[in-house]
């Protein structure tokens, strides 16, 4: 899976990030509401503002983004003081919504507002932000003139400043500076042991690995990631353990170190997933490992579950899951449904695998070779070329099964001709292939060696076997598993067992729950 297929999903937040904000909402909830009502497009009021003279645009745009960052910082500070992690999670969602609006001038003004001017973090982060533009300097001066006296910076805000500067550097394609910033942030993070930092730290780990992957130097940080995973385990930082385990698995798989990845996965502590996004990634990496280890049944289950659990907006991730799932199902002797290849936005990317599936379904070895050669570049970039080579035997077996169904008796020479075997002795090869298929139970037939024939037996009634029972059992198990996961995902009101609340408090709580329900889907989109 390429770096942009999965990690760029973190950049694919709502199209509303392009919106110009004129008003400065007094709370993050109001900001979310105004943003959503815009529908990802500029409203009429904003369009009228754009037509105004250019001198009024900076004063209407930059302070608005800066104000939102200050509100996010206030939310983080409140969550840290009250040890409410949910507030920090909400702050991370709001930050990702502002990602495309981040500018050097805005970040400089925000750092001056949050960090003490003489602190080491302020000096380091300011060195990554350019100040050559005179307009940016004017904005910084105006912003610093209205800000209040400097406050003591809590660790959560300091790590948050590292995070937004790192995201800005990655978006500006300044990858070498992003590596330096991420390394400095990890060095600072090692000295902080607070559970309210864990949510921000998990994001920081993510972009730390991403910055090194963009510069093709993932191997340099493998030891650091292992040390961070050990530190997170000792500190009982379960979200950090999830994130770092996935980053380590991705690091190993990037260099095709599947044995090391499986050893780490099998020995790493497992617990109930805290992040749906990290759990999806874990299932995807597990499916890849199982596929390489020839454990196709477990691989199919992991890959399909990862594709089902992934957010709808994570299109690239779902495409990668479906590519591997299609190949695994073909290796199992199954033929995926046509609808798998016709999902919106996936048809073009899955076209090579659709043609491959068609060749395997027909059992045409010549067509299979043509498709494999035609899309060899795509299969190599997807790192599925070695799996395609394994499919050759399945193509032959499928063709042999079709021949067995169509003919009650057929000669080995005709089988070799229909399968298009191009070996020096095709009849002998056809005989060995048929014998192996009979032994494995792929076909129900016998070989007449004296006459060189293959005699197929009559197909029995499938309902007289245990296959229907096995199929029903698998469906029931799937439904029960989905029910159990839904029960575990239920959220209960925090004040259900306390004293009866007043009418005003109840209305306020219901309003907050409705706002949270509107944006709960975004929680799945942020990390992708």
DSSP secondary structure of 329-393: HHHTT----GGGG-STTTTTTTHHHHHHHHHHHHT-HHHHHHHHHHTHHHHHHTT-HHHHHHHHH
Summarised one tens digit per residue, pLDDT across range 443-453 is 777 777 777 77
pLDDT in tens, 173-195: 888 888 888 888 888 888 888 88
Say whether pLDDT at 242 is over 50: yes
Residue 228 pLDDT greater than 80, yes or no: yes
Question: 449, 430 in Cβ contact below 8 A?
Answer: no
pLDDT at 493: 64
- pLDDT cut 70: percent of the chain above it: 78
pLDDT > 70? residue 10: no
Longest dimension (CA), the chain: 100
pLDDT at 422: 72
Give residue 19's pLDDT band: very low, low, confident or very high (50, 70, 90).
very low
Q: What is the pLDDT of residues 86-128, one digit of tens each?
A: 888 888 888 888 888 888 888 888 888 888 887 888 888 888 8
Which runs of consecutive H residues, i.e. helices, occur in 382-457? 385-406, 412-419, 426-440
Q: What is the DSSP letter of 173?
A: T
Q: What is the pLDDT of residues 124-157, one digit of tens each?
A: 888 888 765 444 444 444 344 344 444 567 888 8
Contact 238, 199 (CB under 8 A): no
Once rounded to an integer, what is the mean pLDDT over residues 502-509?
Answer: 77
pLDDT band at residue 326 under the 50/70/90 scheme: very high
Is the pLDDT at 475 greater than 50? The verdict is yes
pLDDT one-digit tens code per residue, 283-312: 999 999 999 988 888 999 999 999 888 888
Task: Tell me, yes or no, if the pTM score tops 0.85.
Answer: no
Nearest-CA neighbor of 70 among 112, 104, 37? 112
* The predicted structure's pLDDT at residue 500: 57
Average pLDDT over residues 473-482: 91
Distances 66 to 17, 22, 43, 278 between C-alpha atoms, Å:
15, 12, 21, 30
């Amino acid at each position: 899976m390429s770096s942009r297929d999965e990690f760029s999903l973190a950049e694919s937040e709502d199209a509303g990030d392009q919106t110009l904000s004129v008003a400065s909402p007094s709370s993050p909830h109001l900001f979310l509401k105004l943003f959503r009502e815009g529908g990802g497009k500029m409203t009429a009021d904003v369009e009228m503002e754009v037509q105004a003279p250019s001198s009024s645009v900076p004063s209407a745009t930059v302070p608005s983004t800066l104000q939102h960052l200050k509100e996010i910082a206030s939310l983080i500070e409140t969550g840290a003081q009250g040890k409410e992690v949910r507030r920090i999670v909400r702050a991370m969602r709001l930050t990702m919504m502002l990602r495309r609006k981040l500018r050097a001038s805005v970040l400089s003004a925000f750092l001056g507002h949050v960090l003490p001017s003489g602190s080491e973090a302020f000096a380091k982060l300011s060195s990554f932000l350019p100040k050559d533009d005179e307009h940016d300097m004017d904005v910084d001066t105006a912003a610093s003139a209205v800000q209040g006296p400097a406050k003591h910076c809590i660790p959560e805000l300091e790590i948050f400043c590292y995070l937004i500067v790192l995201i800005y550097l990655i978006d500006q394609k300044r990858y070498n500076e992003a590596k330096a910033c991420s390394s400095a942030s990890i060095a600072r993070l090692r000295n902080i042991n607070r559970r309210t930092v864990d949510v921000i730290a998990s994001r920081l780990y993510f972009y730390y690995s991403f910055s090194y992957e963009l510069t093709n130097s993932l191997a340099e940080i493998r030891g650091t990631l292992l040390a961070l995973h050990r530190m997170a385990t000792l500190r009982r930082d379960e979200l950090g353990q999830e994130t770092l385990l996935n980053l380590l698995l991705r690091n190993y798989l990037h260099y095709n170190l599947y044995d090391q990845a499986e050893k780490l996965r099998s020995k790493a502590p497992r617990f109930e997933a805290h992040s749906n996004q990290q759990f999806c990634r874990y299932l995807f990496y597990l499916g890849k490992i199982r596929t390489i280890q020839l454990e196709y049944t477990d691989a199919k289950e992991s890959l399909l579950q990862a594709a089902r659990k992934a957010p709808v907006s994570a299109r690239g991730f779902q495409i990668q899951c479906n590519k591997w799932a299609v190949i695994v199902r073909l290796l199992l002797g199954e033929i995926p449904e046509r609808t798998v290849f016709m999902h919106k936005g996936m048809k073009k990317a899955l076209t090579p695998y659709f043609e491959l599936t068609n060749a395997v379904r027909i059992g045409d070895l010549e067509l299979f070779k043509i498709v494999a050669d035609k899309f060899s570049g795509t299969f190599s970039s997807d790192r599925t070329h070695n799996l395609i080579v394994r499919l050759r035997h399945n193509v032959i077996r499928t063709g042999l099964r079709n021949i067995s169904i169509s003919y009650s008796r057929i000669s080995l020479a005709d089988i070799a001709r229909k399968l298009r075997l191009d070996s020096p002795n095709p009849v002998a090869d056809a005989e060995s292939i048929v014998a192996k298929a009979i032994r494995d139970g792929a076909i129900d037939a016998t070989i007449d060696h004296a006459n060189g024939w293959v005699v197929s037996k009559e197909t029995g009634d499938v309902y007289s076997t245990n296959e229907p029972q096995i199929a029903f059992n698998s469906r029931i198990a799937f439904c029960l598993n989905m029910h159990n996961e839904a029960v575990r995902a239920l959220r209960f009101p925090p004040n259900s067992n306390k004293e009866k609340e007043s009418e005003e408090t109840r209305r306020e709580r219901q309003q907050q729950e409705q706002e949270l329900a509107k944006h709960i889907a975004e929680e799945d989109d942020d990390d992708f």
